[in-house]
Structure 1
Amino acid sequence: MITADSVVENGSRHFGRFARTPREANPADEFRGVRRLFEDWRTKEWAGFTLGHPELFSSMIVQDAKYLASSEMYVFDRATGSLSQWAGSMSPRRLTLPADILRSRVRFADEKKGHRIGYDFADERIVITIEIAAQAEGPAVTGRLELDPSRASAPLVVSSRLPGGGRMYTNKIVFPASGSLRVGGREYAFDPARDFAILDEHKSHLPYRTRWVWGTFALPHDGGFLGANFAHRPHTPGEEEESAIWTPTGVEPLSDITFTPQGEDRLSPWRIRSADGRLDVTFSPQGRKDVNVNFVVAALRYFQMYGTYTGTVNGIDIGTVGGVCEDFAARL
């Protein structure tokens, strides 16, 4: 496990698994001059959260593709089956995703659409603020969620080489969540003994043609969290993968993940397993969010499904727990 406080030290990048989230995660620091400008342009950055709550499925993201900054959020009410979605965009010059995210502020604001999301990270508390005006696919949404770093899971932090000269950095943590989220006239109260938010931070130079399948879930267990983050993508032999299991005492690496749809319907269940059997779950979608964007030389096609997981993690029956599963393909 790497214990360095920076992803890049003295012009050399660390590759492998980190014991903690580094204070400096700017992959472009590996380079100088024109090469640094190019690497910074090719590095796609985002910070988002998947929310865990018994009455909804919800995710939000703020992302900097360098030619465009954007934000998306959705909330699916599990009782009514209603899906609300919101999206905004802004100049990338106005968005900064910091190198030390856990001690920084992130602000996204599309004033034309009234789409504002903020993340305030500090050692003692993380605050998510949401203020989005009604849009075509969703009513107004407001919220303030407070996350407790003192009771968070172990961080899942990986820096690795990708085929075709790409490089990936990701930082994922599960936090207990309190506060509330109001969608139209419906308010959801968050209980930190039950509810949580999973941080997903990326700073990655992805290959021009990029493809992955990914999923995640978590649940409170034995004073901490039990859960998993798992992915299948083109892989460089010998490099660490981002797949892992969260336990109340740490984070355990996983590898060789298979995703097997159990039918041809767009909402068919998926069987997901690790080669060693420590992850063996079935994901049953309740809905999905599709994104299709084509800029000719750049394109994005993905769908994120939200639903429930059943099965076992490290031989422990997880019952029925909410989570997401995503199929992503792009030319970036």
Structure 2
Amino acid sequence: MKQTTLSAAPPRLPGTDGQPIFGRFAGQTGAIDWRQLAPPYARSRLWRRFHHKRWHYVALYTEQVFCAVAIVDVGWTNTAFAYAFERQSGRMLAEFSQDGLPGCTASLPHRPTGVSQFRLLGKQIHINTADQGTSSLTLRCGEFAIDASFGPAPAPLLLAAGPVADGAVHATQKSGGMPLQGQLRVGGRTLALDGGIASFDYSNGLLARNTAWRWASAHDLSMGFNLQAGYFGAQENALWLDGRLYPLGAARFEYDRNDSRAPWQISTDDGLLELSFMPEGERRGDKNLLVAASRYVQPIGTFSGWVRSAPDQPRRAVQQLAGVTEDHASRW
């Protein structure tokens, strides 16, 4: 069987006729503006206000630490979080989580490039992604600070777009592994990020009020993958391998919900990926604000097993590739 690669990403979403362009693509898109949707996917301004969700997530990892930073706009409010996890000790060095004020504290662009930022009470997060594929991250949250630059990506970006049950449409732009430089400062310590790996996820969709997913992501500069099972089906499942990008089938996650630090087993139904995930630690949260709720666990650890680009291609060993899994359910 011939190896399958992806078509080039469209320059914008939706198309000039107002219709969404569904599929998986390689490369960077421009504006993702669901206000331009035509029937049958068009929704009223009021409906979009409560169902339009955007987030910008960045992961930074070295042999010492794993950091994750996210800014989330759920339409009627916004939030942000960040953490730094020390891998050898298995403990959190720093955590930040803050709900914002509607229309005031967070801003995200209607495109994967540009500036995403969160500011409140002296705390700030600033993510800047340039058209050339380079990005920077600045975080100032008390004694927790990050200054990082990363990119460009050695492999194509993934763009996935598709319909969403009980919502309308969703699109996500994700990177493979990118070279990382910078530093983390926490508790009087300064830790170098130079030589590490970064990846990002910019997502923009009109989602259902109740949205749930399982997710897995890990990267180095020659290999990486993104897997999701839940509200978006197999739309964003992809493998980065030796500078090329390949679609993957539906993902299956097997794990003990009562013991999230037990090993996870993850595979795809096309026979292109089979992995074991061994958690080193985790971040979790359980919020119930009556009008909204969020329950999640995000274990941090390593993946081992194998991947391949096509059923007739040799298996490539995966050995302790650092990344995360996630089990998440939101009422938003």
TM-based fold match above 0.5: yes
Contact conserved, 2:53 with 2:204, CA < 8 A, in 1?
yes
CA distance in 1 between counterparts of 2:285 and 2:119 reads 21
* Residue 222 (structure 2) pairs with residue 216 (structure 1): no
- The residue number in structure 2 matching 1:85 is 95
Letter in 2 for 1:157: L
**Percent same amino acid at aligned positions?**
26
* Residue 161 (structure 2) pairs with residue 159 (structure 1): yes
Q: 1:20 to 1:263 in 2, by over 3 A?
A: closer
Structure 1 residue 163 displacement after superposition: 2.0
Residue pairs, 1:140-289, within 5 angstroms: 140-149=143-152, 151-174=153-176, 175-191=178-194, 194-221=195-222, 226-234=223-231, 241-261=235-255, 264-289=258-283
- The residue number in structure 1 matching 2:32 is 25
Aligned-partner SS, 1:228: strand
Contact conserved, 1:227 with 1:313, CA < 8 A, in 2?
no
In structure 1, runs of 5+ residues without a counterpart are: 134-139
Aligned-partner SS, 1:28: helix
CA distance in 2 between counterparts of 1:246 and 1:316 reads 12
In structure 2, runs of 5+ residues without a counterpart are: 1-6, 309-314
Contact conserved, 1:263 with 1:269, CA < 8 A, in 2?
no
Superposition CA RMSD, Å: 2.1
Deviations 1:296-324 (A, max 9, x none): 23211111111111111211112112110
Aligned-partner SS, 1:318: strand
Match of 1:98 among 100, 105, 109: 109
* Structure number with higher relative contact order (C-alpha < 8 Å, ≥ 6 residues apart): 2
Deviations 1:178-207 (A, max 9, x none): 11111112222123xx41211111112222
What number of residue pairs does the alignment pair up? 313
CA distance in 1 between counterparts of 2:58 and 2:154 reads 14
Match of 1:109 among 103, 110, 119: 119
What's the TM-score once normalised by structure 2's chain length? 0.88
CA distance in 1 between counterparts of 2:48 and 2:38 reads 8
Structure 1 residue 79 displacement after superposition: 2.6
